[in-house]
């Protein structure tokens, strides 16, 4: 996308779903507002009225149609759109961009996408991502891609239990599960094969007792990079992060650990040639002997709204500016960019389903329909507020959330001493 673009097409996220929640509706509305303020004519393709209500009167044209590839092409041509922004659509946008990149047909209209073709495939394919990571001295968890029970058995013998089984190119934990032994493994594998959109399933090492961190990394066209290790997943892996309590600042890293996470994020961004903003999920062994890259989302993702709250950065605007060609020191220059002095908790909110209802459907391993932020000057204060909320509305929270919050409250004194560390981001690249 260039500054000469007059009309831009924003693809909306659609209905709120398990694991995705309303965060992408927020990002779609914010993206439209930011682009409108930049002087663009904004066109929206969205089939969820709730998202359009959040946008108010910002879009100049609205197409309430299913955002399938044929419709995207037709609307882009009809509106003479010179750019399409897919990232506000979340997983749906990722899938659309991947299909359109394969089919082609947009190049003749000089439409550039915020998700580059190469990034779509590298970040969505564990094998390709591993190749890029290894070139930077990093790696991801041991895994095997299998297509049937025989290959699945070979993968189990090679990796060893416990194992995580998940369909290829799935999100929100759909069709995923964890197998501890050979008795339950074939059932989970069969279900994952049935739900996989590619007829391929990933069987990977379960990172039991590892700690999980979310790092937001930004990189411009010149290679200047800044990484912010912002969140820690309180519960141990392999619980889906959308079902977990997330805490800022990270508790178990310390200053040296935060620098290690920032440096790994910088090297990852360079390896995949990122331009813009990405959320990178990492896992670290209890003694920090291993640091593994779990996922790379090469654009704003589900934790971006939370990240904006704790940093003071307009991260959506920053991503757009970087993709447009701004340099990192210039991008977001109007923002305060000061990390918050508060302790933040992000709680997973469920859709009012009972545990029996959740257990009756083995197709999902993630049940959160949204997240709720809680904060306090001290971690104990934030935990007290969160516990009050969980106990008042128990049907909206997983039983494990209260246990996790109790543990956090007990560790409050240790956590209160690491605030300064998150203010020192990892940097790299060339000026």
pLDDT in tens, 252-264: 788 889 999 999 9
- Rounded to two decimals, what is the model's pTM? 0.84
Measured CA to CA, the distance from residue 127 to residue 345 in angstroms comes to: 33
Contact present, 323 and 276 (Cβ < 8 Å): yes
Per residue in 276-305, pLDDT (tens digit) is 999 999 999 988 999 999 989 888 888 888
Give domain status of residue 127, yes or no: no
- pLDDT recorded at residue 80: 87
Q: Are residues 19 and 101 in the same domain?
A: yes
Between strands 177-179 and 276-284, the pairing is unpaired
Give me the number of domains the chain comprises.
3
C-beta of residue 42 within 8 angstroms of C-beta of residue 28? no
Distance CA 322, CA 271 (A): 18
- Same domain for 96 and 235: no
For residues 233 and 323, membership in a common domain is answered with: yes
DSSP conformational letter for 92: H
Q: According to the model, what pLDDT value does residue 262 have?
A: 93
The reported pLDDT for the residue numbered 331 is: 57
Residue 58: CATH number of its domain: 3.40.50.20
Q: Are residues 347 and 405 in the same domain?
A: yes
Give the residue ranges of the chain where pLDDT is below 70: 1-5, 16-21, 105-117, 169-174, 235-242, 330-340, 351-369, 412-431
Let me know whether 416 and 281 are in one domain. Answer: yes
What distance in Å separates the CA atoms of residue 227 and residue 384, rounded to the nearest whole number? 31
Residue 1: inside a domain: no
CATH number at residue 275: 3.30.470.20
Decide: 214 and 181 in contact? Cβ < 8 Å.
Answer: no
215 plus 335 within the same structural domain:
yes
- Max Cα distance, the chain (Å): 60
Assess whether 245 and 344 both reside in one domain. yes
Residues 6+ apart with CB under 8 A from 417: none
Please say whether the beta carbons of 7 and 79 come within 8 A.
yes
68: containing domain: 7-115
């Amino acid at each position: 996308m260039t500054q000469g673009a007059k009309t831009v097409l924003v693809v909306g996220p659609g209905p709120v779903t398990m694991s995705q929640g309303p965060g992408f509706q927020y990002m779609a509305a914010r993206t439209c507002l930011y682009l409108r303020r930049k002087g663009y004519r904004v066109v929206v393709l969205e089939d969820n009225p709730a998202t359009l209500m959040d946008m108010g009167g910002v879009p100049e044209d609205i197409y309430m149609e299913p955002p399938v590839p044929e419709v995207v092409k037709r609307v882009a041509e009809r509106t003479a759109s010179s750019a399409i922004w897919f990232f506000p659509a979340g997983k749906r946008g990722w899938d659309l961009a991947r299909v359109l990149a394969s089919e082609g047909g947009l190049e003749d209209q000089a439409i550039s996408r915020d998700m580059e073709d190469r990034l779509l495939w590298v970040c969505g394919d564990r094998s390709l991502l591993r190749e890029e990571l290894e070139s930077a001295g990093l790696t991801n968890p041991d895994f095997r891609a299998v297509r049937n029970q025989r290959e699945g058995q070979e993968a189990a013998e090679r990796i060893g239990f416990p194992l995580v089984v998940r369909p290829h190119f799935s999100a929100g934990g759909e069709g995923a599960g964890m197998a501890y032994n050979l008795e339950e493994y074939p059932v989970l594998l069969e279900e994952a094969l049935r739900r996989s959109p590619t007829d391929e399933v990933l069987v990977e090492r379960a990172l039991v007792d590892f700690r999980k961190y979310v790092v937001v990394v930004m990189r411009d066209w010149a290679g200047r990079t800044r990484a912010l290790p912002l969140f820690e997943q309180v519960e141990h892996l392999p619980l889906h992060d959308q079902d977990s309590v997330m805490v800022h600042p990270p508790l178990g890293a310390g200053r040296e650990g935060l620098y290690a996470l920032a440096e790994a994020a910088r090297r990852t961004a360079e390896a995949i040639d990122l331009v813009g903003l990405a959320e990178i999920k990492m896992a670290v062994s209890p003694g920090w002997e291993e640091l593994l890259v779990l996922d790379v989302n090469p654009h704003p993702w589900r934790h971006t709204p939370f990240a904006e709250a704790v940093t003071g950065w307009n991260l959506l605007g920053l991503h757009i500016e970087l993709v447009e060609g701004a340099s990192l020191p210039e991008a977001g220059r109007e923002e305060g960019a000061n990390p918050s002095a508060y302790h933040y908790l992000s709680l997973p909110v469920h859709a009012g389903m009972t545990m029996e209802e959740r257990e009756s459907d083995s197709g999902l391993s993630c049940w959160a329909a949204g997240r709720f932020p809680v904060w306090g000057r001290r971690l104990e204060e934030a935990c007290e507020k969160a516990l009050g909320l969980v106990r008042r509305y128990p049907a909206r929270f997983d039983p494990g959330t209260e246990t996790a919050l109790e543990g956090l409250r007990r560790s409050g004194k240790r956590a209160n001493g690491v605030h300064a560390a998150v203010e020192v981001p990892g940097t790299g690249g060339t000026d």
